Structure 1
Amino acid sequence: MVNMAAASHSLLLLPFLCLSFLLTSSTSTAPYNPPTVPELMDLFGLPRALLPTTARRYLLHNDGSFELFLDDVCEVEAGGYRVLYDIRLAGSLAAGSVTGLEGVRVRVLFVWVPVTGVEVGGGVVTLSVGPLKKSFPAVGFKTSPRCAVAGSAAADVA
């Protein structure tokens, strides 16, 4: 024979057990908040100032390949050079380096030359520009550049 007092006591506890389970399961799986673009740069040991302030969205794949999106085409003046960023940048990230970079060009004399890689180490930032490499002191990469109007540069490249 079933003890009715014990059965009703168990039934009263059932809603509390369900609520307790829901609360613990929902708090244990917090929403994923991916790093911002500047935080991502920090995680990979890259100066934040390699990218303009309009870089806000990205996709980072398990193999280190990435796609980074700017609000618009962006032209900046950096270290006496004109640099042009496309709306979409891509490449592969590793600690202190970017390889296979697409979507960044620097003006050399009268020609826009692609920047294909970046290496950071020993207080120096080295850019691969076409077949050449150019190094700059890392202290020069303190502030992210702000975009100027890029309409004329985009027309020059096209």
Structure 2
Amino acid sequence: MAAAAPSRRLLLLLLVLNLLTSSTSTAPYDPPTVPELMDRFGLPRALLPKTARRYLLHSDGSFELFLDDGCEVEAGAYRVLYDIRLSGSVAPGAVTGLEGVRVRVLFVWVPITGVEVSGGVVTLSVGPVKKSFPAVGFKASPLCSTAAAAVAVDVA
């Protein structure tokens, strides 16, 4: 009986060592970057400025995306204002319930509430109106022209 105790200890020690080595050999979690995430959902990378680097993506598709600072960009004839925090829901080819992005229409900042991408066309929901653009116009992420320090007035 005395010989069985050392063999049990040795077996227990081997099990513990096996658990320790197997748990440390797993690779650390390396989440996709914002541009990689845009690719996975079939959305043009150029929908977001380059300062979009951090995000939270929940299993139901809801997300929060964070920019380094507020950002204003020129997109063709339009001025677009990004808050520091954007949120909404994402699915393949679509963003719904978008908050934190506005476009200047005449003298008023109007929220962009959704994005759809299909058949080479990007459709933006601006309030109750939808405006479509060729996807080829969304090749490069826009650079912020100024930090959005001024508060824009939203139209509900």
Normalization by structure 2: what TM-score? Answer: 0.87
- Tell me the equivalent position of 1:45: 42
Quote the residue 2:20 is aligned against.
Answer: 22
Secondary structure of the equivalent of 2:24? Answer: helix
> d(CA) in 1 for partners of 2:133 and 2:49?
17
2:132 corresponds, among 130, 135, 158, to 135
Helix, strand or coil for the counterpart of 1:117?
Answer: strand
Given candidates 53, 57, 60, the residue that maps to 1:60 is 57
Count of matched residue pairs:
154
**What is the one-letter code of the residue matched to 2:86?**
L
Matched residues, percent identical? 75
**Cα offset, 1:43, TM superposition:** 1.1
Change (3 A) 1:134 1:87: same
Scaled by the length of structure 1, what TM-score is found? 0.86
CA RMSD of aligned residues (A): 2.1
- Quick check: 9-18 or 118-127, which moved more? 9-18
Long gaps (5+) in structure 2: none
Matched letter for residue 27 of structure 1: S
Misfit runs of 4+, over 6 Å = none
Offset from partner CA, 1:40-66 (integer Å, 9 cap, x none): 111111011100001111111121111
CA pair 9-122 structure 1, distance change in 2 beyond 3 A: same
Q: Deviations over 1:117-155 (max 9, x none)?
A: 000010010000111111111111111001111357x34
The structure with the largest alpha-carbon Rg is 1
Distance (whole Å) between structure 2 residues aligned to residue 119 and residue 95 of structure 1: 9
Of the candidates 146, 153, 156, which is equivalent to residue 157 of structure 1?
153
Q: For residues 115 and 86 of structure 1, what CA distance do their matches in structure 2 show?
A: 12
What is the alpha-carbon distance in structure 2 between the residues aligned to residue 7 and residue 99 of structure 1?
64
Per mean C-alpha deviation after superposition, the further-off stretch among 117-126 and 8-17 is 8-17
Cα distance change on mapping 1:27 and 1:156 into 2, 3 Å: closer
